[in-house]
Structure formats: structure tokens, C-alpha cells
Amino acid sequence: MIHKKIAVIGGGVAGMETAIQLDRIGYPVDLIEKSESLGGHAKNWYRVFPDRRPAAEIFEILHSNLKNSRVEVKTSTTIKTFEKKDGKIFLSDQENETNSYDAIVLCSGFELFEASRKEEYGFGIYENVITSAGLEEMFNSGSILTKQGKAPKRVGFVHCVGSRDEQCGNHHCSKVCCVTAVKQAIEISEMLPETEVFCFYMDMRMFGPYYEELYRESQEKWGVQYIRGRVSEAAGNAGGSIQVKAEDTLTGRPLKMNVDLLVLMVGMLPSKDTKQIAGQLDLKTGVNGFFKAWDDHYQTNLTSQTGIFIAGSATAPMNITDTISHARAAATEVDKYLKEINNKITY
Ligand SMILES: Cc1cc2nc3c(=O)[nH]c(=O)nc-3n(C[C@H](O)[C@H](O)[C@H](O)COP(=O)(O)OP(=O)(O)OC[C@H]3O[C@@H](n4cnc5c(N)ncnc54)[C@H](O)[C@@H]3O)c2cc1C
Ligand code: SF4
């Protein structure tokens, strides 16, 4: 073991993978998670794009690697105070227990946009308006039903809810919600072959490998229909269905449509912890509120403070594949720092 201690804050995919990699190099690592279990948001997803494998399979690997490591996992632990002093980082938890570390990696992840903030879409008002995260819960339960207990005949997806939205003050693109909508549209079509599925989008952003193929498959094999236009309003009808008003910007025509279930593709926002941690440690955040890297090309795991590193979706909306790569890179950067190879930042 190397006698330098590291804390990884946040036990989602980023934190789990960072801790595993640091342990493999030989460092003692505490993996600190505020909730009762590891896994972060992704443990709630049913199957994941692009290959639609069960999310549980990814966690089997992560949990098994952690089990075979010496990482000390501390769940239900909230760090209240972060302090950097004399080259060490001191963390105090809710019990006022304080530990010191030679380096920390912030993997505090993201928060979902609160859909009720977009009142015009009726979330929290009409019971058949749900979020993309809520739909994953339905997939996990094995049945897609409206609140009236019926299989929906028509499902609508609204893209960019709380992202790319001037009114909400969120200008950034959440990156993964277009392909999540494609994946979810396919899941619905597979589970309910008679159901018509419509996606209301501004742009289709298929940035990753096999995403474009999945998008094509959704149209050619599953008949998902894509309508370019921003939904202006959703209103409840008697009987529980939802009337959607939009403008089809390709034909230039206003459009009204009834759906039985309306799914809001909520965006990824920086978590409240990010703001708190950044304040206490004097770290920079970007215009979008996520942790700002020292350099956006070469040093995406480094912060403006030596010994404090960042990984995963705490730095920007990110898919699981990129989160794992970013976590591995963070472990390498911490190792370089602790071995004093990279004390002076070079390019
Ligand atoms: C609806 C939806 C569907 C998605 N589907 C897919 C998909 O199919 N395929 C794919 O590749 N990606 C998908 N993603 C993206 C995926 O969820 C992320 O890539 C992944 O969750 C990022 O992991 P993370 O560890 O960075 O963050 P998180 O999952 O947010 O984990 C962060 C963890 O840190 C903990 N934490 C936060 N602050 C503290 C603190 N102060 N102290 C201790 N613990 C703390 C949190 O409790 C949480 O457990 C989807 C995203 C959304 C929104
Ligand atoms: S990924 Fe798609 S749905 Fe999500 S914010 Fe970007 S454009 Fe909108």
C-alpha cells in the first residue's frame, strides 16, 4: 500500500470507478456516499443506451470490483465541511468526525431538473405527465400504465425540458436526453407494440457511437415518429389524456395532439452539493454551474486547487461510457500528483 490517503466523494459510477482504479494502483481509499447505497442515478435506469443492456449488469461489474478491493465504503455519510490546509484536505461528516486526506476526487454527480418548474407542461398537475426518470421506474416495475390503469395507446416525449431554456436560466444541452428518448421510445414500442410514439424535439443530438443507428432503428423498425417543434403547452382532458400543443417547425403548422402519457425529458443540472463544495474549497464553476476544469482539453480532472480532482457528471452532462473513462483518467492524475510527477501543471 502507498501511504497517501485519498477520499472519493460520491458513490455513483464515477466515484465507484475512480475508487476501484486508485485501489488497484495501491492507495488506501475512502469512498464516501451520502445516500444509503452506491450507484447514483444510473442504478435506477432499466436498460442503458446504446446497447440496451440492463444497467444492473454494469453495476454487477462495479460492485464485484469494489468487493475485491480494499476500498472503504462509507454510505449514509454526508461531508459537512471541506477544508484545505497545509497541503492536506480535511473532511468532517455529519457526526463531526474529521479525517485528513492527501487528495480528494469530487464525483458528486448531477441533479435532475425539477419538472414542475415548467408549469406549462403540467407535471405535478396532470397525473399522466411523467418524467424520463419516472418512466425508467415504470420499466423496472414491468408495466407501462396510465394512472387510470390502462396501457397507453399514444405516448409523447418532450425533449429539452429544463435544458437549452432561457426562461429557466439553463443554456446548456444535457447531452444524453435525446438518445434517452430514443431508447425509451424503443422500449415502449417493444413492450406495447400497438402504441404510437411521438417525440417532440428541437434538434436530435446523436453524439455517441451507435446512437445514430439506434435513432434509425427507432424509426425503421419501431415506427417512432419525430416531430420537430417545441411543445408550448400540455393540458389535461377529461378521462386523463393530455392535449399537447406545439408548432411543427418543419411544416410551419401549429399542431394539437392527444396522448395518454406525456414523458418530459428532464435535463441534468449541477447538484446543490457542487455549489456548496465549490464555495468551501474555493473552486471554480463554469457558466453552467458544473465544476470547472483547470483546462477544458488537457486537464479535465484538475481543478484550480492542487490535490482536489473532479470526475464524471459533476463536471458536465455525461453518459456512462464517458463517465467511466473520466474516472479512470482522474485516478491517473491523482497518482501523478501524489508521486509528485505533476506538481507543476504542464501541457
Ligand atoms: C433519465 C436519464 C437516463 C439515462 N440513461 C443513460 C443510459 O441509458 N446510458 C448512459 O450511458 N447514460 C445514461 N444516463 C447518464 C448517467 O445517468 C450518468 O452518466 C451517470 O449517472 C453519471 O454518474 P456520476 O457518478 O457522475 O453521477 P451520479 O449518478 O449523479 O452519482 C453521484 C453520486 O454522488 C453522491 N453525492 C453527491 N454529493 C455528495 C456529497 N456531498 N457527499 C457524498 N455523496 C454525494 C450522490 O448521492 C450520487 O450517488 C442517463 C441520465 C438520465 C438523466
Ligand atoms: S440532448 Fe437533446 S433533449 Fe437533451 S438538452 Fe440536448 S438537444 Fe435537448
CA 18 / ligand 1 centre spacing (Å): 14
Report the atom number in ligand 1 closest to the C-alpha of 13. Answer: 25
- Grid cell for residue 118: 415548467
Taking only the tens place, the pLDDT of each residue in 34-84 is 999 999 999 999 999 999 999 999 999 999 999 999 999 999 999 999 999
CB 162 near ligand 1, within 6 Å: no
Ligand nearest 281 Cα, by number?
Answer: 1
CB 325 near ligand 1, within 6 Å: no
| pLDDT for position 341 | 57
Nearest-angstrom CA–CA distance, 20 and 23: 5
CA 97 / ligand 1 centre spacing (Å): 27
Ligand 2 probe mutation, 163, 182, 264, most atoms within 8 A of CB: 163
Report the atom number in ligand 1 closest to the C-alpha of 35. Answer: 47
- Grid cell for residue 176: 444524453
Report the atom number in ligand 2 closest to the C-alpha of 163. Answer: 5
Burial label for 305, CB within 10 Å (0-12, 13-18, 19+), is: middle
Closest by CA position to 24, among listed 70, 67, 73: 70
**Residue 346 pLDDT greater than 70, yes or no:** no
Eight-state DSSP code of residue 345: -
Report the atom number in ligand 1 closest to the C-alpha of 15. Answer: 25
CA angle 196–199–201, rounded 5-degree value = 165
Ligand 2, residues at Cβ distance < 6 Å: 159-160, 163-164, 173-175, 177-178, 202-203, 205, 265, 267
- Grid cell for residue 212: 445514430
Burial label for 256, CB within 10 Å (0-12, 13-18, 19+), is: exposed
Ligand nearest 46 Cα, by number?
Answer: 1
| pLDDT for position 185 | 98
Ligand nearest 173 Cα, by number?
Answer: 2
- Grid cell for residue 93: 461528516
Q: Pairing mode, if any, of strands 261-266 and 88-93?
A: unpaired
121 φ/ψ angles, rounded to the nearest 5 degrees:
-95, -5
B/e letters for 100-126, b = 16+ CB within 10 Å, e = fewer, are: ebbbbbbbbbbbbbebebbeebbbeeb
> Which amino acid residue places its CA nearest to atom 2 of ligand 2?
178
Nearest-angstrom CA–CA distance, 314 and 273: 10
Cβ neighbors of 85 (< 8 A, separation 6 or more) are none
Domains along the sequence of the chain with CATH: 6-109+271-338 (3.50.50.60), 115-268 (3.50.50.60)
Neighbours of 282 (CB within 10 A): 12
pLDDT, average across residues 202-228:
97
- Grid cell for residue 186: 424503443
C-alpha 42, offset from chain centre: 7
What's at 182, amino acid-wise?
V
CA 64 / ligand 1 centre spacing (Å): 19
**Residue 179 pLDDT greater than 60, yes or no:** yes
Q: Pairing mode, if any, of strands 268-270 and 98-101?
A: unpaired
- Grid cell for residue 148: 387510470
**Residue 342 pLDDT greater than 60, yes or no:** no
Verify cis geometry, omega within 30 degrees of 0, for the bond prior to 317: no
CB 110 near ligand 1, within 6 Å: yes
Report the atom number in ligand 1 closest to the C-alpha of 318. Answer: 19
| pLDDT for position 347 | 41
Closest by CA position to 327, among listed 75, 80, 66: 66
Nearest-angstrom CA–CA distance, 82 and 79: 7
Ligand nearest 161 Cα, by number?
Answer: 2
CB 34 near ligand 1, within 6 Å: yes
Taking only the tens place, the pLDDT of each residue in 322-338 is 999 999 999 999 999 99
| pLDDT for position 344 | 54
Q: Could you give the percent of the chain with pLDDT greater than 70?
A: 98
